[in-house]
Amino acid sequence: MTGAAIDYGDEARIGVIVPSGNVVAEAETHAMLPAGVRALFTRLPLRSTAEAELLAMAAQAEGAAALLADALPAVIAFHCTAATTFSDAISRQVGAGLQAGSRGIASFQTGEAIVAALAALGARRIVLLTPYPAEVNRREAAYLENRGIEVLAENGLGIATNTKMARLPPQAFIDQALRHRHPQAEAYFISCTAIRSAGCIAPLEQALGRPVITSNQALVWQALQRCGAAGRVAGYGALLGG
């Protein structure tokens, strides 16, 4: 008996660096990628949103990018929202590490993908929703504001570890978004690569009448743009064309 066909990513492969404690990003990324495009992952130590862990992860971007570059992906992404929106200095550090390690392969980081995704949708006024503690939310809101995005409202669930974040059902973020509707919002951004957010996108876009962006969705969109494999992906919101 012949098994199911295996998708090896012959059209394009994307390299993704994720936190070691993240058990969600891989599943959601593969679910949202079109046929012919696959993701290759490597990990860096990070189990929480503690400042020391975030800074240590950012400092190791070069080595992780170099490992992925051996596989010759079309693009390499550093995929941690809390780290890449920590500060402009850390964002520059991550960018320099990616550039040095990727050996000429195109690269980007989650914060950049989010800003680009919002721009593509023409959304300049947003509601920011996260699982994070308040101090992480404040840093992320400042990062977005510094890039011309007005954060009309923000709310975090006060959770600091990847393990606890990953246990939250999608309904937790649907409820959070519905509690924080804003009449002037042009989009809702559900932040964090470690949460089960893909299943929130379609029901929330229908309920709110506005685009919904998630960190993992923005990664997929930006990777497809960068590797020239952009196309409609049904079921995951306006950003991906369906």
pLDDT confidence of residue 78:
97
**Partners of residue 16 on adjacent β-strands:** 41, 77
CA count, 13 A, side-chain hemisphere, 145: 13
pLDDT confidence of residue 22:
95
pLDDT confidence of residue 53:
82
pLDDT confidence of residue 48:
72
Is the pLDDT at 202 greater than 60, yes or no?
yes
CATH topology of domain 12-112+217-240: Rossmann fold (3.40.50)
Which residues, in sequence order, are CB contacts of 226 under 8 Å at separation 6+? 74, 75, 106, 108
CA-to-CA separations, 138 to 30, 90, 97, 148, in angstroms, rounded: 30, 16, 25, 16
Is the pLDDT at 88 greater than 70, yes or no?
yes
Model pTM above 0.85: yes
pLDDT confidence of residue 1:
55
What CATH class has 117-214?
alpha beta
Name the least confident of 43-52, 106-115, 215-224: 43-52
Is the pLDDT at 172 greater than 80, yes or no?
yes
pLDDT category at 183 given cuts 50, 70, 90 is: very high
CATH 3.40.50.1860 in the chain is located at 117-214
pLDDT confidence of residue 58:
86
Is the pLDDT at 137 greater than 80, yes or no?
yes
Q: How far apart are CA 177 and CA 163, in angstroms?
A: 22
Q: How far apart are CA 217 and CA 189, in angstroms?
A: 10
**Mean pLDDT along residues 98-118:** 98
Q: How far apart are CA 189 and CA 178, in angstroms?
A: 13
Q: How far apart are CA 193 and CA 83, in angstroms?
A: 11
**Mean pLDDT along residues 86-104:** 93
Q: In the chain, pLDDT over 90 holds for what percent of residues? A: 84
CATH 3.40.50.12500 in the chain is located at 12-112+217-240
